[in-house]
Structure formats: C-alpha cells, structure tokens
C-alpha cells in the first residue's frame, strides 16, 4: 500500500535535512521512503525491494542500540531497518522510485510505503524569557466544591488567573489539587532535546539519547526543554511558580529534532523504538507536519504506533494537533502523526478556555479528530541556560496531557493502553466548544 505524492527534490538529491528555513504550510520530502513490512517476513519484503528497486544495503537497528542510529539515517548508501517496529527508511535512486512504489503495491509482505517527510516543532509566539513569572488562578475551596464545580468556576472567570505560585495551565487542569506526582512513571519526550544542566530538570532525567546526526541531546532550541518542564518540572521551583504537572515522573529525553526544530520521519521512528525499548508508559510528541483537507493518516505511523503498543502494553502515544489554523477564518486539519487513530491529538486552549486561534480541528475523517484540549497559550516553563520562557502552541498543550497520563498511570499501574486513554478522556471537563475543536473537553488531573 502506498500513499502519494512521491518526493522528488531537484535532481533527486536530498534537501538540507537540518537547516533550511520552513516555509509556512510547506510539505518537504527527503527523497527516501518509509516502508512498513510484515514482521513475520521482513527479509522477503526487503529482498523484493533489493531485486526490483535496488535499495541501498540494509542496516538493522534495535531500540536499545542508539549509538550510530543518527549517523546511519544520514548516510546515502544505507537503508535502516528498525527491527522491533518492522519499519525501514530506505534509500533509492530517483529513477527507481516508481519501481519501489509498484513493488510495494504488488508484494504482500510490504504493508505500506510512503515518502519520508520532514517534521517540525512549531511555536506560535516568540519566546519570552524571564527568571521568574507572574501569572493569572481561580481559587476554590476543596472542602466545599467538587472537581467539575471548580472547572466550571475556572471557565466562568476566564482570564482572571493568579499565577504567582502556580501557572494558569496547571490550575486549569487541576494539577495543583492532585495528590499524585507521577512517581516512577516513564514519559518519553521526543523533541529538540533537553537542557541537561537546568537545576529544575536534572532530577527527573532517566535516560537521554540523540537521533540527530552530529548533535548531543543538549537543547539549542528550547522547545524540548519547555515541554519536559511542563511534564515533570518540580513541585516547588526555587525561582518560579510551579509549572510541572508530574514532578516525580521519569523522563526519557529523545532528541529527534535539530536545534532549528526540524527532523525526519526516520528520526522520529528511531525515537519511538528507543522509547518503547526503555519502558515508556507515555510517548509525548509535540511535533508534526501539516496535511491537506481529505488527506489520509499515514499508514506507516499508524502501524508503528500499534506495533509499539503491542510490544509495550499500557503505553499511550500523545501528540500535538498542529498550529496551522488561523481562526476564525481558517481551520486547518489535524496534522500528522496526530491524525493517526492510535495516537491522541491534543488541541490548545487560551486563558479564557476558548480554542486557540492556531489550533487545528477535526476536518478530516478517521483519525483526524481532536481527542482532548489543554492549556496551550502563554505557557510558562523551563528554558535552556537555567532560565524560563513563555511559549504558545499545541506543542505546549501536549505535555500537559502527557503529565496527566503519568498521574493516571501512577494511580493505575496495571492499566492497559485502552484503560489509560479512557480514564484520560472520561475525566475531561466538558466545555461549550465543538468536539471538532476540543474533543472530550478540558484536560483534568485525577
């Protein structure tokens, strides 16, 4: 099975895979293909591609073998097979791409073949750096009102938040009322890396790995550090309000995007394989690429997510819905890979608990829905160099949900993937917004 269009960069060459500025709404291809194989007969599928399309020699990579994976993905003379996922990133000469597609359509052991795309971390506003934060919270008496009453009060108060001690996002999702901390739950954040020396984050880092050629896991962008801070920043930061949902979660920080916030499908797949191999209960991906109205979800990502869940039961993949809308005039469809049915897509809300102007909506069919909404405007969190910054985007909403999943997984350690998803969605507070924009409603901590 193949999804078109075929990627054809000028002269069949790879584009700059790292440092080309992103044009708005652009779709960029690397010139390679991502091929999903029947895991019972991977060699038969690869042999068919070797004999018909002359794909480059195949190197096998396991999730626990991170050393060298990034460099292999960059080499033009090598195709890379992620053993546990049954997915390969293959190099093929430009004049053999049509043959590869034809072979994929006729060979039963090849389930899907899609052009490898570039993937992005997209931020809506310029970062606002600060050493401390002063922010807008509704206050309610835990002894007198229940969870939904507090959420209703928050909705009615809108922007009247007091963020001196807790960020507005944590208050909106009730993380500051939860007795859970995410203790011991592994959350993989696949992003631009992490500031490993940030004093707020050093204690939560379980493992780190980089899948970007020539780069360490250190975050030269800030996006990944911000997301990790939202998931697992400390309950009592020394120089800032509380901004982390699950302060005792264990973070697997995978750098799959470079310091300009750009990566490839292959790097994302490498990060997923690594996260699964290291026992992640939650895989958080504040990244993606835009899709066109009517475009199907990517078969490769969908099947990889399913296979990851099969190998690690009880794991949930949560993704950013995308930032391409310009409401009220234009609503863009949920991007990829958030549009996969096996992933949860998170929309962004502003402080008034309305859909953020940039947040993508459920325009396309199966898998293109929004599952839940979370704070994603003016979100305060950690930044490289030990400071803090305020960012906006569905990228900022997603780690709120990842943190809440860590709390749920702590409370229900034996829960299946379906159970965790159901608990997350059933706990949402209904908002007066269309489900196409906010899914089940406002994320709520247990």
List the catalytic residues.
Answer: 191, 223, 395
CA atoms of 158 and 240, how far apart (whole Å): 23
CA atoms of 15 and 29, how far apart (whole Å): 8
Asked if 8 and 115 count as a contact pair (C-beta separation under 8 A), the reply is no
> How many helices (DSSP H) and strands (DSSP E) are in the chain?
11, 16
CA atoms of 161 and 171, how far apart (whole Å): 9
Residue 28: name the closest of 271, 270, 220, 265 by CA.
265
For residue 252, the Cα-to-chain-centroid distance in whole angstroms is: 13
Q: 99: part of which helix (H) or strand (E)?
A: helix 97-106
* Residue pointed to by tokens 């990502």: 301
DSSP for 46-57 reads HHHHHHHH-PPE
Give bridge partners of residue 188 from the DSSP assignment: 252, 283
Asked if 46 and 135 count as a contact pair (C-beta separation under 8 A), the reply is no
Question: Residue 302 CB: number of other CB atoms within 10 A?
Answer: 21
């Amino acid at each position: 099975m193949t999804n078109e269009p075929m990627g054809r960069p000028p002269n069949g060459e790879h584009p700059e895979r790292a440092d080309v500025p992103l044009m708005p709404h652009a779709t960029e291809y690397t010139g390679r293909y991502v091929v999903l194989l029947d895991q019972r007969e991977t060699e038969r599928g690869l042999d068919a591609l070797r004999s018909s399309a002359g794909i480059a020699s195949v190197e096998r990579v396991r999730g626990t073998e991170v050393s060298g994976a990034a460099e292999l993905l960059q080499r033009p003379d090598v195709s890379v097979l992620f053993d546990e996922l049954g997915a390969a990133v293959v190099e093929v000469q430009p004049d053999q791409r049509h043959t590869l597609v034809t072979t994929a359509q006729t060979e039963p052991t090849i389930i899907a073949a899609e052009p490898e795309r570039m993937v992005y971390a997209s931020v809506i506003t310029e970062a606002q750096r600060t050493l401390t934060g002063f922010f807008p919270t509704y206050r309610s008496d835990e002894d007198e009102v229940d969870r939904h009453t507090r959420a209703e009060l928050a909705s009615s108060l809108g922007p009247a938040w007091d963020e001196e001690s807790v960020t507005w996002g944590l208050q909106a999702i009730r993380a500051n009322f939860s007795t859970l901390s995410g203790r011991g739950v592994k959350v993989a954040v696949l992003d631009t890396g992490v500031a490993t020396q940030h004093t707020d984050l050093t204690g939560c880092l379980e493992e780190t790995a980089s899948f970007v050629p020539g780069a360490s896991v250190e975050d030269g962008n800030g996006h990944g550090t911000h997301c990790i801070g939202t998931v697992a920043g400390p309950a009592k930061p020394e120089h800032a309000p509380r901004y982390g949902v699950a302060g005792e979660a264990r973070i697997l920080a995978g750098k799959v995007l470079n310091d300009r916030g750009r990566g490839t499908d292959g790097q994302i797949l490498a990060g997923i394989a690594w996260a699964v191999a290291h026992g992640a209960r939650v895989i958080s991906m504040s990244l993606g690429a835009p899709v066109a109205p009517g475009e199907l979800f990517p078969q490769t990502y969908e099947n990889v997510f399913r296979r990851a869940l099969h190998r690690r039961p009880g794991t949930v993949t949560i993704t950013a819905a995308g930032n391409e809308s310009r409401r009220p005039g234009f609503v863009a469809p949920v991007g990829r890979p958030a549009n996969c049915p096996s992933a949860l897509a998170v929309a962004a809300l502003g402080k008034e608990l309305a859909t953020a102007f940039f947040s993508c909506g459920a325009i396309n069919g199966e898998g293109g829905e929004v599952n839940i909404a979370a704070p994603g405007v003016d979100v305060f969190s950690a930044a490289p160099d030990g400071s803090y910054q305020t960012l906006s985007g569905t990228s900022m909403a997603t780690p709120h949900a990842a943190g809440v999943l860590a709390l749920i997984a702590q409370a229900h350690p034996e829960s299946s993937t379906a159970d965790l998803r159901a608990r997350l969605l059933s706990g949402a507070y209904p908002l007066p917004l269309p489900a196409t924009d906010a899914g089940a409603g406002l994320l709520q901590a247990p």
